[in-house]
Structure 1
């Protein structure tokens, strides 16, 4: 059967920036092998398949694939799909400010707003708070795997660590934005240093005023050489902030810029609520715009 699809650029307000996403609609009847093959065909960092939800009060169930594997959760697929569903529902005469998506990690609540005929904004509450998992490799191993000097690893109290809010990331602080820009994965050394880990490198130095961190994400073992914007990495990164530079009591907002070295500037909003010195909730938000619509034959 023919199946409709749309593509969106996510974590941006304009087309041809942000992170491209394919959303396959009417995905019933596709098995895992077929979904993986379609994701390889699109060859984007992630492709979403929209299915009927298990619970009638939820809006949809999602399955999310990179070109190489299925993920239990991902940020830009969640934001982009929520925006498209809001646009679709409004065009059908319905619409809501809140919808729930079923992902492998659990139910994900999304606040959505339609901002134009083909654009919107969504923010979702993390279904799982970030936690430290495993032990990070030493700077002496990480640096050559990224084409850097060991002295460029770390700044302030920030040190490499592995954190996960559903998908684990090795969060690697770098001393400057120049070091972030110069990072080049050396696949001959990557496997020994990082194994199957995805690496989220970041610096406090930013390209744009008013932003808080400048980042890149590499996941070559998942079929993603580099990702323009990675919501699930920012969700994990919230754990690094709490561990290394904890904000005070109250609610905090950070803007993480990513994708600038790829010519696809993206802005990911991270909101964190701290009570009693602990992270009690966090949200990931951003804008998305529809780029194309088509049919899979």
Structure 2
């Protein structure tokens, strides 16, 4: 029997964020057991807390989708840190949590809300014309409606497209067959003075996710891209999940060159699981 929590991430309101399943004390579990449980939960991500191998880390995290393992993902990072702290985890440095995962060490702040430092991008730069045309077909729009398209891959493989505005993002009816193996994020600006600066949607059909309700890794890459491009201010709030009946709010801020991605976290389910 192992302790278990299901944590809602990126919403201050119950059941309107993105849930992550977190298994505590997962040392000794096989890869097959972890992958099998992730398929069984059928959430976008299921995570496993383990003893760190790096002395600088507070814990080690493995992250699984129903289709396989990821080196990094944002909402599982926040939800797992929340679960670790709630279960009595004590960081080596007060106010800072250090997570070891596939991309290395990820630092989190634990101020008013948890926030992680966006990891370095593994692939950057404008998407080529062929990719832009595939994005347009995937979104059932004309390529002229894509203002810019950029690789913002920090592990999951994201490519992002900026549409004409937030409403255009909400209006998209995706074609997952055309999307193929693209991990695709789309973003559009809200008018100045709105509650949120941007509307975001994230699609990952090859990971058996389809559309993800609220996506930390995508918002991390978008923050790095859009702040540098001058499209959004140094500190802003992103909306995601409205198309799925959620109300995700992602707090993004660049401080001394580092983009921090934060959100509210709330435990919804506690219990125990038998996996071996």
Normalising by structure 2, what TM-score?
0.89
Residues 197, 232 of structure 2: 8 Å contact kept: no
Deviation at 1:175, TM superposition (A): 1.2
- Runs of 5+ unmatched residues, structure 2: none
1:105 maps onto 2:97 in alignment: no
- Aligned counterpart, 1:219: 204
Q: How many residues align?
A: 272
- Superposed CA offset, 1:222-261 (max 9, x none): 111111111111111134215643678xxx2121110011
- Aligned counterpart, 1:291: 268
SS in 2 for 1:39: helix
Assess, with a 3 A threshold, how the Cα gap between structure 1 residues 88 and 242 changes in structure 2: closer, same or farther.
same
SS in 1 for 2:7: strand
Deviation at 1:87, TM superposition (A): 2.0
Assess, with a 3 A threshold, how the Cα gap between structure 1 residues 40 and 139 changes in structure 2: closer, same or farther.
same
SS in 1 for 2:38: helix
1:122-141 matches, cutoff 5 A: 122-129=114-121, 132=124, 135-136=127-128, 137=130, 139-141=132-134
- Runs of 5+ unmatched residues, structure 1: 116-120, 275-279
1:236 maps onto 2:221 in alignment: yes
Assess, with a 3 A threshold, how the Cα gap between structure 1 residues 55 and 174 changes in structure 2: closer, same or farther.
same
Deviation at 1:151, TM superposition (A): 3.5
Normalising by structure 1, what TM-score?
0.83
Assess, with a 3 A threshold, how the Cα gap between structure 1 residues 127 and 149 changes in structure 2: closer, same or farther.
closer
Question: In 2, distance between residues paired with 1:152 and 1:23?
Answer: 39
SS in 2 for 1:240: helix
Question: In 1, distance between residues paired with 2:2 and 2:249?
Answer: 31
1:1-297 matches, cutoff 5 A: 2-89=1-88, 96-113=94-111, 121-129=113-121, 132=124, 135-136=127-128, 137=130, 139-154=132-147, 159-191=148-180, 196-205=181-190, 209-242=194-227, 244-245=229-230, 252-273=234-255, 280-297=257-274
Deviation at 1:143, TM superposition (A): 1.9
- Aligned counterpart, 1:277: none
Deviation at 1:150, TM superposition (A): 3.1
SS in 2 for 1:124: strand
Pairwise CA RMSD of aligned residues? 2.6
Question: In 1, distance between residues paired with 2:178 and 2:7?
Answer: 35
Question: In 2, distance between residues paired with 1:81 and 1:206?
Answer: 34
